[in-house]
Homo-oligomer: A and B are copies of this chain.
Amino acid sequence: MQNVNVVPNWLMQRAYLTPQRIAIKMGEREITFDQLHNQVYQMAGRLHAMGIKRGANIAVLSHNSIEMIEILHALKYIGAVTVLLNTRLTTNELLWQIENAHVDFVLVESSMAKQLEGKSKARVVSFDALYTIEPKKGELHVVKEFSLDKPDTIMYTSGTTGNPKGVIQTYGNHYWSAIGSALNLGIEQEDCWLACVPFFHVSGLSILMRSVIYGMKVVVQDGFQAETVNKEIVNEKVTIISVVSTMLQQMIDHLDERGSGYPPSLRCVLLGGGPAPETLLEKSKLRNIPVFQTYGMTETASQVVTLSSEYSLSKLGSAGKPLFHSQVKIVQNDVEQDNDKPGEILVKGPTVSTGYWNCPDATKSSLKNGWLYTGDIGYLDADGFLYVLDRRKDLIISGGENIYPAEIESVLLSHPEVAEAGVTGKEDLKWGQVPVAFVVLKNPISKEELMAFCGEKLARYKLPKAIYSVTSLPRNATNKLQRHKLLSLLDGTATI
């Protein structure tokens, strides 16, 4: 019996098959697959010389950059598992994840190294220091074949408990995700994907994976700037871009200011990170922007359900249909629901994570018989289109970042003067949603004090935009917090 789950190292195979094609363009720099492979091979030699072992968990903390891309591939070359850290996290949050993941080394963009140096048990190495290391002499034993069932990356997501969990993504999860996207969007000769979403999120990382699997050029940007993005779409004849609603809104605003539009080469604007406002979809339609809404999560290695642009208005509010090898069903009380009946959204397929790092209980409760229990609520219409009604565990999606109320609540509750805390999302024109907090205080304290307290422990995008002092929180009969009723407290409530 053959092992059908082994494929050649993706970048090495690309460097062999299509060496002269452009792999990466960032600013003025363009790198072919052959050049990228050579750089990565050197980097793998450095990582090896540093003592990184096959199978070790290695964290990477960086904004999008060519160095980061080289390091991400190099970690695959030496068979390490990459833990991707969100640059927006506080030092405390980072340290927690680094410790939880049993990380040996943290490879950090030099400007951010100070934040961690001397504070972590893991060895912290800045990119600058890394590039001065002499690569290992002699032939390097790089991983020439990837086993699709082996872990490749770990990304942390928060959940109901307040503590983030590391989602394990295998080589197969990433591979099948790229293939599923290709079977939906096609692979055209002139394809070029613009990455202005961060590589530490699966929306960004999946673009890098597609690049080496398809042999496709990726235009990389560090962070999002509507003007730069719009310029690159034209100059580089970008065909596909991944965005969240707030980005697309800014891109359209900028277009309108200039009175310009996109060239027909832009064939797909993949819109993720939560439901899109109707006005945004209508604006896009008016400007002939081909928006493909998509639903996915870290646990499904990016998009798993996508709505073709031809349906963006006729199936308004829908996330679309599954990718070719994925399945979706709606379950309520263990019973599969009929069309139009809401229930929990379950997802199955080869892009679904094998589980959470070191969390057998969470894995067991999320993954049953191959089905991922997303915690999200939705339904399928008669044509099989998915509609997402409520995001999992009261998830707040703010500018594409996932924020879990429980995580903010647990920080608030750790303050000695806070008796009870409830957090929910409030609509926001720019970000889609922002978190707001409701607290029951033991003794009066200032808003500044509480915000400063949170600021130590929470990334900025997670900080409540307002904190309201109330006498009690809405709870059900079993005393469970009813977050969906929090906003109704706002009438007659004073902020702290």
Contact = CB atoms under 8 A, between A and B. Distances in A.
Given A2-B354, A7-B325, A321-B16, A187 B183 contact: yes
A261 interface: no
Interface string A426-438: 0000000000000
A8 B325 contact: yes
Given A16-B321, A186-B186, A186-B187, A5 B8 contact: no
A7 B350 contact: yes
Given A7-B325, A213-B324, A324-B17, A350 B186 contact: no
A287 to B, nearest CB: 21
A4 B7 contact: no
Given A17-B321, A187-B186, A324-B17, A350 B4 contact: yes
A390 interface: no
B13 A324 contact: yes
A335 interface: no
A214 interface: yes
A148 interface: yes
A434 B352 CA distance: 52
Interface residues of A, number: 40
Nearest to A383: B19
A352 B2 contact: yes
A491 B469 CA distance: 107
A187 B4 CA distance: 23
A321 B148 CA distance: 22
Contact of A186 (B13, B176, B189): B189
Interface in A78-129: none
A3 B327 contact: no
Interface string A139-183: 000000000110000000000000000000010100010010011
A384 B13 CA distance: 11
Contacts of A214: 183
A120 B327 CA distance: 43
A451 interface: no
A139 to B, nearest CB: 15
Contact of A2 (B5, B324, B370): B370
B324 A4 contact: no
A188 interface: yes
Residue of A172, A322, A324 with most chain B CB atoms under a 10 A cut-off: A324
B350 A2 contact: yes
A266 interface: no
A1 interface: yes
A207 B325 CA distance: 19
A6 interface: yes
A7 B7 CA distance: 18
Interface in A1-54: 1-8, 13, 16-17
Nearest to A1: B354
